[in-house]
Amino acid sequence: MADNKKKFSSTVKQLFGNDLNAELRQLIDLAVRKQFNAQDFVERLVNTNTFDKKYPGLVERGGTIADALSGRSGAPVSVNSLTAAIRAYGTAFEDFQRSAQGYGYKLTKDQFAVALKHETSPDEFKARLEAVQTIDSNPALLNAFNEQAKLAGLKASKADAYRAAVKAGDNKFRTIYEASQLQTQLGFSAADSRGLIKDKAISPGMNFGDVNTLIAEVRGNLQGYAPELQAQGINAAKLVKILGNPDAFTAEMDTIRGIAQKRQSLHGRPVAGSYSQKGTGGGLALYGNDSQAAYG
């Protein structure tokens, strides 16, 4: 029994150093009493609060090593795989920290855990930081970025724009950033800019991406909208509340916008083509060969 305690203590020290807190000591005592083998022990170990606090994101919800650290999908936890993953974790975290410090930003382990979840590469992370630095130096782009982040379900302001850089997956962040560039450079609404990045055409006529335009349209045509809104569970009383405080009813505003766009589509065809295309470097190539067709 003494040998087992020494073995488990050695495993913990190998992974955590000499800092054996109360939770880890209790786990070692339990492992000795229940005669855990090495595999049983490490599986319990990675579920402790101590482990989660020290290495957030290293083990995924399914109990496997993070793909970004193991280099493959679904790597099981074992003494050997955990030891290798912890080494990789430390190296990657230091790399990300150095990149963040170069832009005056302090990266936390919780934010690094998000990057691990999305398998964000060090190069991609640097590209995001550079993008956010560009955003911070351009007030118009910052406003557009915040609008795009909101459409994508993120909260972002100048104070936490860097956090937004690691809160989303790579594709989601690129969509937000590229749409904000398009919105600023071409003057499209936030919704239309996002749609163009996602290869959707702009419908002619009134632009319902702008909240004020949408509210004016609905208020000016209540009789026509009422039956369709009622079918979506939005009666007159609720509509008054929604139009009076649209920021508090984003889901309902999306429903109303969809109805408005559908109604508008009955009076004209969507414009063919796209105003942008992806460049060789992954960014925007504005006004490409299809620009003439895009404007009709």
Integer CA distances (angstroms), 31 to 63, 64, 90, in order:
19, 21, 27
pLDDT at 109: 92
**Helices 139-151, 190-197: crossing angle, 10 deg rounding:** 70
- Taking CA 131 as the corner, what is the angle to CA 126 and CA 135, rounded to the nearest 5 degrees? 145
Residue pair 139/157 in contact by the 8 Å Cβ criterion: no
Question: What's the predicted TM-score (pTM) here?
Answer: 0.60
- β 75-76/64-65 pair status: antiparallel
Residue pair 242/235 in contact by the 8 Å Cβ criterion: no
pLDDT band at 112 (very low <50, low <70, confident <90, very high): very high
pLDDT at 286: 40
Sequence-distant (6+) residues with CB within 8 A of 227 are none
- DSSP 3-state of 76: strand
pLDDT band at 266 (very low <50, low <70, confident <90, very high): low
Residue pair 279/197 in contact by the 8 Å Cβ criterion: no
Residue pair 46/77 in contact by the 8 Å Cβ criterion: yes
Q: Minimal CA–CA distance to 179: which of 163, 159, 193? A: 193
Distance between CA 112 and CA 57 in Å, rounded?
Answer: 8
Instruction: Tell whether the model's pLDDT for residue 271 goes beyond 80.
Output: no
Residue pair 271/203 in contact by the 8 Å Cβ criterion: yes
Integer CA distances (angstroms), 255 to 14, 192, 224, in order:
55, 16, 15
Average pLDDT, the chain: 78
pLDDT over 90 for what percent of the chain?
Answer: 16
- Quote the distance between the C-alpha of residue 50 and its chain's center: 26
Phi, psi (deg, nearest 5) at residue 210: -85, 125
pLDDT band at 269 (very low <50, low <70, confident <90, very high): very low
Q: Minimal CA–CA distance to 108: which of 66, 47, 56? A: 56
Instruction: Tell whether the model's pLDDT for residue 289 goes beyond 70.
Output: no
Evaluate the CA torsion angle 79, 83, 89, 92 in order and state its sign: negative
